[in-house]
Amino acid sequence: MRNFHVMWSKYGTFGILILLVLVLGLLSPEYFLTANNLTQVMLQSAITILVGCGEFFTILIAGIDLSVGSMMALTGMVTAKLMLAGMPIALAILLGGVIVGALLGAINGFLVNKTGLHPFIVTLGTLSVYRGITLIISDARPVFGLPQEFKEGIAGWIWKIPIPVIIAIGIALLLTFVTDKTKMGRNIYALGGNSQAAWFSGINIQLHTLMVFVISGICSGIAGVVMTARLGAAEPLAGNGFETIAIASAIIGGTSFFGGKGKIFGVVMGGLIIGVISNGLNILNVPTYYQQIVMGSLIILAVFVDKLFSLKKFSMKG
Amino acid sequence: MDILVDMRNISKEFAGVKALDQISFQLRAGEVHVLLGENGAGKSTLMKILSGVYAPSAGTIQLGDKTYTHLTPKESAENKISIIYQELSLIEELSIMENLFVGKLPSRKRFGFSVVDYRFMEEKARALLKKVGLQREPSELVEHLSISEKQLVEIAKALAADAKIIIMDEPTSSLTMEETNNLFAIIRQLKAEGAGIVYISHKMKELKEIGDRITVLKDGKYVGTRNIQEVTTDELVTMMVGRELKDKYLGGHRVSSDSADVLLKVEHLTRADRKVRDVSFELYRGEILGFAGLMGSGRTELMTALFGADKIESGCIVLFGEEVKIDSPYQAIKLGIGLVTENRRETGFINTFEIWKNISMAKLIKESRLGGLWGLVSQQEEKRLAREKQAELLIKCASVEQNIVELSGGNQQKVIIGKWLLADARLLIFDEPTKGIDVGAKSEIYKIMRRLAESGKGVIMVSSELPELLAVCDRIIVFKDGGIKTILSSEEATEETIMLAATS
């Protein structure tokens, strides 16, 4: 049982992904297993992975960020407006995507720290607030006419690889470095494992909580820019409901909802699993509505499996 | 005399590891049967078999005239077996009386519906609380009670279930002397009423006072059963650890009073919440300074304030000749202060971390910048250093890559000590460092503390176990009502002088 648990936590999600690919490959070899389709899966998964990586950190400290979808829309909108106002593209992305994303995340973190409320409540509030701001500054209308260089530079291709995929891989690698090689990363794991003990080991809880939400904001900001480039327009209602997918990718990827456990690699696997499932269901002509049912069921199943193993582990001592 | 419980040749395996090997255990009506053994000896496992948590791999359990191969929790309860765990199992958000009757709330009919009969429940609860000596209203929420009060509620809960077989797992670990005496009075009454009590504790003095028979386990094996009157403490320790416990009196050294040897000087320290007021003392090089006092007297609160975990309102702290301001544990660690907290599980270690990660935590913080945000980690180096501490402190584990929850209490405590040593702490505060730890590991921890003091580090020890304080410390400060009542030299300090100062 113990060994199975270790194996599961290390390779479980990867195994599931392989299994899914094999099953879909057998069911539909002529469509699913083509290079074209697999690239498409990766492209579709790129945004999920970007947002999921940020969500991962908030779940790691036994919190959550429900405002990711609204942050995507707001950052995308600000970036678009800045570009239309004549700001150089790179600067607009940096300011509208990254800086605004960080700022929105910082507001979440600040509120969590100062009110002492659970992040669920705080981000449920800002989910609505940020969406409202987006609707106000856009007058509830999509923003078109973005520069071609922006669309091609962010949503285009380098050789045969879509640029969003490269961005997602880059961010995932960077955040893997943060979790595995930096003190901040280690401290965040400690905070998620036992915040009291972390405090008594010298970890500044509020500072690290703030950073966690800033990371989530930046990831949402980058995802917002990529989404805007792919759509070719900034939609005020873009990213609506994206928190479900972000949470799902982190949870399916093995991040413990109880805090302290998880890996960025798992989130990437989780994102790909979601991508493969929705792509597979499309190929098998399953209507989109059913995909939502599958997604929701997977979240519950993944948390249940995690809980099962956690309980087993703690009842081992005698 | 009636035999209430007869466990025969009980074995239990966990994933191929023998936790219990052919253990036999009898409990008679009207006796207190002490179960003694180091942590990991199998006491808790044996009792969990009796309470229906685990099924034994082999053996039989006879209760009255019924024989079982294993018990379910329900069968255990039906046979009036009640267990009071070391980690309390009350529901914090419910009232005392609801906790007492949880699962079997008294009811009455109202408009044809069965509703909870609160008045009846409150009456019964009040009687039970009176019996255990807890002065609280039955309707108060459990979360507002202190640890020792919760312990009393647990005992009342066993009484509410009309238990005939009561298992108590270290019931006095958080009780004051008075509360302990009160508990013993309850136990004697239960005995007189024909109940049998299994009593698990490491406190030798206590066992002698309350126990009738004693069974010693070691490494999951049965060592022997004796009448308490016919066995000495030294014999018991030998049975338990298989070796004589020497070095019992490490403390009592003459303390330097040279001002050049003052490692820590605290003047007029007052906490923002006033739980500690106007405290002044000095810690000298080479000594272990003890802090005695009742629960809630402010000892722990002084230590957490010195460590920066709680706010200081006024006062002055001079550490190694330098006046310092400490406003967070982060700062305290940077200044070279380490705190082994009172409660390992809650504030001592990260239960999701491996041994090596727990050991390296404070060092990483100490060598970091920007409030712990800035800096890199090197797993290879950390594991190497953790292995060094493992060897130095004799931490028993298969590898430093094991998770810390897999270790016994004593070894977990050593990991925490290792964390502070690796961070090169020059002032180490030990708050109840041997709580719930077996005798063998206790003596090792005393030795580590003495070694640290001799190597020129400041060492402070808070303990509620007077024999331990007297054996280990060179001077003892007695705390009462948030302040220092008196400071006793090793010549002046006895259990009597300390208790007198702490209570009068």
pLDDT at A65: 98
Instruction: Please give the residue of chain A at the shortest CA–CA distance from B366.
Output: A202
Of B357, B372, B379, the CB nearest to A203: B372
Q: Which tens digit of pLDDT belongs to each residue from A61-83?
A: 999 999 999 999 999 999 999 99
Instruction: Please give the residue of chain B at the shortest CA–CA distance from A212.
Output: B373
Is the pLDDT assigned to residue A18 strictly greater than 80? yes
Beta bridge partners of B477: B291, B487
pLDDT at B338: 97
More confident: B219 or B200: B200
Assigned domain for B249 exists? no
Assigned domain for B251 exists? no
Nearest alpha carbon to residue B333 among B405, B420, B412: B420
pLDDT at B245: 42
- Do B228 and B121 lie in one domain? The reply is yes
Range of the domain at B339: 259-503
What share of chain B has pLDDT > 90, as a percent? Answer: 49
Assigned domain for B247 exists? no
Laid out side by side, the sheet with B288-293 consists of B337-340, B427-431, B458-462, B288-293, B475-480, B483-489
Number of domains in chain B: 2
Assigned domain for B250 exists? no
- Listed residues B208, B241, B274: the one ending a domain: B241
CB B449, CB B459: distance < 8 Å = yes
Rounded Cα distance between A6 and B355, Å, is: 17
Q: Which tens digit of pLDDT belongs to each residue from B326-380?
A: 999 999 999 999 999 998 989 999 999 999 999 999 999 999 998 889 999 999 9
User: Within 13 Å and on the Cβ side, how many CA atoms surround B114?
Assistant: 4
The answer for A 137-196 residues in CB contact with B (under 8 A) is 180-187, 189-190, 192-194, 196
Q: What is the mean pLDDT of residues A253-274?
A: 92
Q: Where are the alpha helices (DSSP H) in B88-117?
A: 96-100
Q: What is the mean pLDDT of residues B180-191?
A: 88
pLDDT at B91: 87
Q: Is the dihedral of CA B238, B241, B244, B245 positive or negative?
A: negative
- Do B68 and B138 lie in one domain? The reply is yes
CB–CB contact B368 A316 (8 Å): no
Of B330, B379, B405, the CB nearest to A204: B330
- Listed residues B207, B241, B275: the one ending a domain: B241
Here the ipTM equals 0.89
What 3-state DSSP class applies to A160?
coil
Does the beta carbon of B405 lie under 8 angstroms from any beta carbon of chain A?
A: yes
DSSP B287-354: -EEEEEE-TTSSHHHHHHHHTTSS-EEEEEEEETTEEE---SHHHHHHTTEEEE-S-IIIII--TTSB
Query: DSSP letter at A94?
Result: I
pLDDT at A317: 35
- Listed residues B241, B267, B291: the one ending a domain: B241
Assigned domain for B83 exists? yes
CB contacts of A261 in chain B (<8 Å) are: 352
- Do B355 and B497 lie in one domain? The reply is yes
Q: How far is B365 from chain A (nearest CA, A)?
A: 6
- Do B396 and B441 lie in one domain? The reply is yes
- Do B308 and B225 lie in one domain? The reply is no
Rounded Cα distance between A219 and A213, Å, is: 10
CATH number, position B396: 3.40.50.300
What 3-state DSSP class applies to B481?
coil
pLDDT at A315: 40
CB contacts of B328 in chain A (<8 Å) are: 202, 204
Assigned domain for B284 exists? yes
- Do B373 and B229 lie in one domain? The reply is no
Q: Which tens digit of pLDDT belongs to each residue from B201-226?
A: 877 788 888 999 999 988 788 999 99
Of A189, A198, A318, the CB nearest to B44: A318
- Do B157 and B84 lie in one domain? The reply is yes
Q: Which tens digit of pLDDT belongs to each residue from A142-161?
A: 999 999 999 999 999 999 89
CA angle B293, B296, B299 (to 5 degrees): 55
User: Among A196-200, B14-18, B348-352, B473-477, whose mean pLDDT is lowest?
Assistant: B14-18
- Do B20 and B161 lie in one domain? The reply is yes
Q: Which tens digit of pLDDT belongs to each residue from A228-250?
A: 999 999 999 999 999 999 999 99
Of B353, B373, B377, the CB nearest to A207: B373
pLDDT at B39: 63
Is the pLDDT assigned to residue B325 strictly greater than 70? yes
Of A197, A260, A316, the CB nearest to B347: A197
- Do B361 and B469 lie in one domain? The reply is yes
- Do B458 and B374 lie in one domain? The reply is yes
Query: DSSP letter at A64?
Result: -
pLDDT at B242: 61
Q: Which tens digit of pLDDT belongs to each residue from B419-430?
A: 999 999 999 999
- Do B191 and B296 lie in one domain? The reply is no
Mean of per-residue pLDDT scores for chain B = 88
Assigned domain for B499 exists? yes
What 3-state DSSP class applies to B222?
strand
Best of A5, A9, A180, A186 to mutate (most B CBs within 10 Å, chain B): A186
Beta bridge partners of B288: B459
pLDDT at A172: 98
CB–CB contact A192 B352 (8 Å): yes
The three state secondary structure string of A188-250 is HHHHHHCHHHHHCCCCCHHHHHHHHHHHHHHHHHHHHHHHHHHHCCECCCCCCCHHHHHHHHH
CB–CB contact B352 A194 (8 Å): yes
Is the pLDDT assigned to residue B285 strictly greater than 80? yes
Confidence class of residue A318 from pLDDT cuts 50, 70 and 90? very low
CB–CB contact A202 B54 (8 Å): no
pLDDT at B241: 67
Q: How far is B17 from chain A (nearest CA, A)?
A: 12
Assigned domain for B442 exists? yes
Best of B47, B350, B378 to mutate (most A CBs within 10 Å, chain A): B350
CB contacts of B347 in chain A (<8 Å) are: 196-197, 199-200
Domains and CATH numbers, chain A: 2-314 (1.10.3470)
Q: Which residues contact B342 (CB under 8 A, 6 or more apart)?
A: B300, B431, B432, B435, B462
- Do B190 and B317 lie in one domain? The reply is no
CB–CB contact B372 A184 (8 Å): yes
User: Among A5-14, A128-137, B107-116, B483-492, whose mean pLDDT is lowest?
Assistant: A5-14
